[in-house]
A and B are shown apart, each in its own frame.
Chain A
Amino acid sequence: EDQVTQSPEALRLQEGESSSLNCSYTVSGLRGLFWYRQDPGKGPEFLFTLYSAGEEKEKERLKATLTKKESFLHITAPKPEDSATYLCAVPHPNFGNEKLTFGTGTRLTIIP
């Protein structure tokens, strides 16, 4: 069974303190890995898709990287507005978005 594990469950950082969130997966034949941001009481918002090991994508203070076993979401000099839950997801090898396995997320809090 495909598994996606995110760590840590929660992370508190001071404003400006850089760190990384981890998403490890066991699905074979990875076809893509997604990162989403979710604010409290709202639906997830798409951040990145990574398709192959070695790929990197950036958006403002966020940078996502992918290896054959895991993905990292690096947050550089975060601001309070970066506080959110970050979710990763992978599709089943034989399907597209119809069968996604989501991790349970990392709840990030940036303290001013």
Chain B
Amino acid sequence: DVKVTQSSRYLVKRTGEKVFLECVQDMDHENMFWYRQDPGLGLRLIYFSYDVKMKEKGDIPEGYSVSREKKERFSLILESASTNQTSMYLCASSRGRGWIGELFFGEGSRLTVL
């Protein structure tokens, strides 16, 4: 069974802390994505990567960075967490660039910043 695994389901952090969210996929997909989901706003793309060490900004990259050192792993980093980054974070993967088809999502990481 194909899988996208996010390392933490629930996190509580303090303002100013550095936060790492990890995501691993076992489908040998080239594309990986980080979204955040907020009530009334839907899913918004933060960053995506179409290859190892490659990254592209999505619609809301401010305050975030990413790392993709291995094909199967994509990390989202909040350098200095703020309360407005309290949200559900979703990792996803899919085949290569230009693919029109299924996105596989992880279970999500709910982050609360106090």
Contact = CB atoms under 8 A, between A and B. Distances in A.
Contacts of B97: 96, 98
A97 B105 contact: no
A106 to B, nearest CB: 12
Given A43-B106, A43-B107, A44-B105, A97 B42 contact: no
B102 to A, nearest CB: 4
A98 B100 contact: no
Interface in B40-84: 40-43, 45, 48, 50, 56
Contacts of A49: 100-102
Chain A contact residues: helix, strand, loop or mixed: loop
Given A87-B42, A104-B42, A97 B104 contact: no
29 contacts: A32-B100, A32-B101, A34-B102, A34-B103, A41-B108, A42-B107, A43-B4, A43-B92, A43-B106, A43-B108, A44-B43, A44-B103, A45-B105, A46-B102, A49-B100, A51-B100, A91-B100, A95-B98, A96-B94, A96-B97, A97-B94, A97-B100, A98-B50, A100-B43, A100-B45, A102-B43, A104-B40, A104-B41, A104-B42
Given A45-B105, A46-B104, A97 B31 contact: yes
Interface of A: 31-32, 34, 41-46, 49, 51, 87, 89, 91, 95-100, 102-105
Given A43-B90, A102-B42, A96 B98 contact: yes
B70 to A, nearest CB: 20
A31 B92 CA distance: 20
CB-based closest 8 A-B pairs: A43-B105, A96-B98, A104-B42, A102-B43, A46-B102, A32-B100, A102-B42, A96-B99
A25 B112 CA distance: 33
Contacts of A98: 31, 48, 50, 56, 97-98
A43 B43 CA distance: 11
Contacts of B108: 41-43
Contacts of B40: 104
B11 to A, nearest CB: 14
